[in-house]
Amino acid sequence: MFSSLNMRHMRSFVAVADHGSFTAAAAVLGVTPPSLTTTIRQFEDVTGAALFDRTTRQVTLTDTGERFLPVAKRLIGDFEEALGDLDALSKGIGGKITIAAAPSVLTRILPAVISRFVVDHPDARLRLDEMNAGEVHAAVAANEADFGIAGEWEALPDIAFRPLFSDRFGVLCRADHAFAKHPFVTWAQLADQPFVGLGPESGTSAMMAGVSGEPRGEGTAKAPQYSGSDFTSPAIEDAARLGIAAAKGVMKQAEKLARAQNKLADQRAEKAAKSPARAGAGDGASVMPISLPRPTVETSNTLTLAAMVAQGVGITVLPELAARVSDMTRDKGLVFVPLSAPVRQRHIGIITRKSKSLSPIASLFLHQVREQAAGLDLPAALEWY
């Protein structure tokens, strides 16, 4: 029964609802008022619901029409978005990319990359969703995001985590705090300090007390080996094999990136082999769980946390990039002091689904992230993989 309805009925319904007149809506749609009236009657007959109350002077929505209006607008929006993606793809590499990421990644890393990406790919459209680590992994697993950029989380069956960079943990405190004058602080010195912290949903506590100081998949015994296909998608590879110049260029850059990653991985493995007893430096063999003071205040928001520190409620522990995400260390007179004995690092990586290839435009964007992000002028000492 409902198969006889189409987007023409949806557009007609929304136009009449928005203009409050069949005559005005017909003019906007480019049809005659009788034709529009027939379309609306068909809609009402098929659904069995009256959508409008009609008088000689005005047309108003019924209660059913009021409830259905936002649904109809969303359906039209989704349909137009899908058509836009098809149009962009027919003209070249385009379409929508949905990215779920940690706040520090969204504010410090992606804007500079995106500013150049949209110039190179004007047909692309990006959706950015700010989430904590657990939410990012879940969004990618549920296919609500094309990929994510966030910290490690509990392993999910269809999720791949590829390290991108790491940053060190440290204390965020007021400039008048005794720690602010130290070059570094040990974890033991945090005991008995007034403390505020992020809740367990952020993943920060898990990262600090985790079992391994290295990202998953990067052990010290054998360095991982990458190939160009690890940094593209099957669609890009197929296009390159067909001789499409843009895709061949992407594959060439991907192979170059793979060689650079392999060289860096070999260097790390060699360094780890020569100094296996780096106490607390994050080699995985000497990592011990860390206990933090019980927080007086717990929150899910880094800005709120920094505000608590600025007011003297307590100190906190954050990865450096997250601590500087709002420039509150500068604006509010806060100081970031690295933690040592042992050193702890947060590993941020690319989160994708193993069972689903990225679209060509999403692959191109990720390639640009890897190519450009390490060269950004960031207010933190990051280690890129």
pLDDT digits (tens, 9 = 90+) for 70-115: 988 888 887 877 676 666 555 555 678 999 999 889 988 999 999 9
* Domain assignment of residue 233, given as a range: 228-274
Q: Please name the helix (run of DSSP H) or strand (run of DSSP E) that holds residue 365, with its range, or none.
A: helix 360-372
Q: 133 and 102 in contact (C-beta within 8 Å)? A: yes
Q: 307 and 165 in contact (C-beta within 8 Å)?
A: no
Alpha-carbon separation of residue 68 from 39, 42, 54, 76 (angstroms): 17, 16, 17, 12
Are residue 145 and residue 184 in the same domain, yes or no? no
Torsion over CA: 379, 340, 216, 259 (sign) = positive
- Per-residue pLDDT reduced to its tens digit, 243-290: 666 667 667 766 765 666 566 656 655 655 554 333 333 333 344 556
Cβ atoms of 360 and 247 within 8 Å: the answer is yes
Is residue 284 a contact partner of residue 220, using CB atoms and an 8 Å limit?
A: yes
**Do 190 and 44 belong to one domain?**
no
Each residue's pLDDT tens digit, 253-263:
667 656 665 66
Q: Is 365 within the bounds of a domain?
A: yes
Same domain, 335 and 291: yes
pLDDT digits (tens, 9 = 90+) for 150-177: 988 877 888 999 999 998 999 999 999 9
Residues in Cβ contact with 128 at an 8 Å cutoff, skipping those fewer than 6 apart = 99, 101, 106, 110
Same domain assignment for residues 173 and 317? yes
103, part of any domain: yes
Tell whether 119 is covered by a domain.
Answer: yes
Q: Which of 58, 73, 90 is the last residue of a domain?
A: 90
Cis omega (within 30 of 0) for bond into 194: no
pLDDT score of 32:
93
One domain, residues 28 and 146: no
**Which tokens go with 285?**
């063999």
With respect to residue 223, please indicate whether it lies within any of the assigned structural domains: no
**Number of domains into which the chain is organized:** 4
Residue 289 belongs to domain with CATH number: 3.40.190.10
Based on the fold, state whether residues 7 and 33 are members of the same structural domain: yes
For residues 209 and 302, membership in a common domain is answered with yes
More confident residue, 122 or 222: 122
Across residues 26-45, what is the average pLDDT?
Answer: 92
Q: How far apart are CA 173 and CA 333, in angstroms?
A: 9
**Is there a single domain that holds both residue 84 and residue 8?**
yes
